[in-house]
Structure 1
Amino acid sequence: MTVNIDLLGVYLLPNMLDGDYTVIVTPKYVAYGCFQPSVLVVAGADVLEFNMAPLPVALLQSGPPMAWYYSLVSRRILALDEIEFAATSLVMVGQNDMQDGESSRMVLVGPACLRCAELFGVVTQVEWSVSPSTDASIEVERGMVTISDGAPVGSKFTVTADVGAFVVTKSVTVYSAEENPLVGIWTGLDTDNVNRLVTTSSGEFAVTVNPYGNYQDYWGFYTFDVATGDVELTADGANQVAPDGQGTGTFIINAAGNLVLESICLGKWDALTQSLIKNCEHEFQRLP
């Protein structure tokens, strides 16, 4: 049994074959999910590096905006004073990419504790605003953002939630589904396939095969050509990747509105080996 003997990340592993181990975990944040700590063995033989996910990077004000796509799934709510270090751990979730004429409600969320991964809605007095106010408006009491009809593609707006002691902000970008049909949150139709594919108007993507909390497997940037259907996904960070991955191929949006990737191998979860394995050809359904 592993015993946590220090809140800062010192662990005792007793009754091992070569005696007791003292392990120090030094966290390092990575984009779009969890951090993969370095493991230093102070006493004993080598211990394999392992993954932990006590704090999603989405909770960090400096975290990547793509991680803020995640919707609130729990019905539990917290008061502002129940959020540890609220000024830095409170975040705003809602759509990052919106089309003209579209509306999306922004919600303040936070963790029950500093190392808790689950996000809960926060109940507090909030004054909402959006700037610039040209081509965008917001309901000051509900945080419902509306992009005006005809708002230029590429326009950027800053949504601000003022809770008195501090403010929380996020950026919203106007895009066109006709110009970039890949933007969105997608889920694989095959339950053994990719659970979540997130793509943004700024050219970011993230893949989650076997999800828990805000964890994501790997992420990076993508390029595409609407005329030819060519697409290329290039990963530049990962918690784990599937072997023999292939990011270059083609895409189509079929009659059902699903995203079909051909000649692209994003991987899938293998329950027997508890790891990612090679898997190609993917079809995704857009999540609302």
Structure 2
Amino acid sequence: MGFTGHMIIGSFMFSISVWWMFNIFRDYVLSKRKNSSSDFTSRISYLCSTCRKVPIEAIWKVVAFTFVLLCEVGSSRLVFIDPKDGGFRAGAITNLQHMTMYGMFLVHACVDLMAWKLPVPDGASTVTLALALVWSGVSIHSGHNKNEFLILIHILPTYVMFVVAALLIIEFYNNYSCFLASAFRVFGTMLLGTWFCQMAFVSFDRHELIGNAPNPHWDQSDPRNIQMLVALFGGHIILDLIVSMLFYTAMYLRYGRGGYEYKTKELGEEHEKLMGIKSPEFQEQKLIC
């Protein structure tokens, strides 16, 4: 993927985590304000309250993953055989590996989009996202083994992918009413976003076009640099936890202290279509400032 690819993926994950964080924390704070946290319902895809007729998040996912998938197609040129010896081209196979990862996320995005109007099975969006995360973790864990530096920098986020996938299943099992699972799903997604951006700066030379060359300031054979990666990852965990707590505090100050009317009407019905939720307990929601 190089510098540009890691920055694109990292920025996407960070932006989607902030969007989820805003909606999930807001809904939970509002449910607590009514002294009924059982009214809380998280979602995998959210509609914008000012543009309810367009599933902006689902479209953003489709556009983002289509773009990175096409970038990998263009980079490999779909030529996977080396004419010199008839074997597979190492670089092109790496592109193909990335294509399978992005392709699975694109499937999830398409399911999200179809759920807006079509009767997709309940929880299909959740399961496809969890499956995409699991496969990405397995793929990254087994495919980046050029040296110890690259192995470690790629293995660290795979654990987070597996945890986020498990949290998605927990949310689905609990009918999306478990706030802690939702909150840590969002935190894990933010952690992946900030770490992939960090990976871009540590692994690749950002001054080169696209950025495929190694960063000359990080000697990938130096054991001190390898050890430093673990400390950096721990720093990301702490920083993203602090950001999450500050975000929750901001949501409480904005929505949890009165001055915000919370009624049930139109918006929730369209959220329900996106989620595939058909629970009789589901409450339609309309947010009115």
Which is bigger in relative contact order (C-alpha 8 A, separation at least 6)?
Answer: 2
TM tier, smaller = under 0.3
- Give TM-score scaled by structure 2 length: 0.24
The structure richer in helix per residue is 2
- Give TM-score scaled by structure 1 length: 0.24
The structure richer in strand per residue is 1
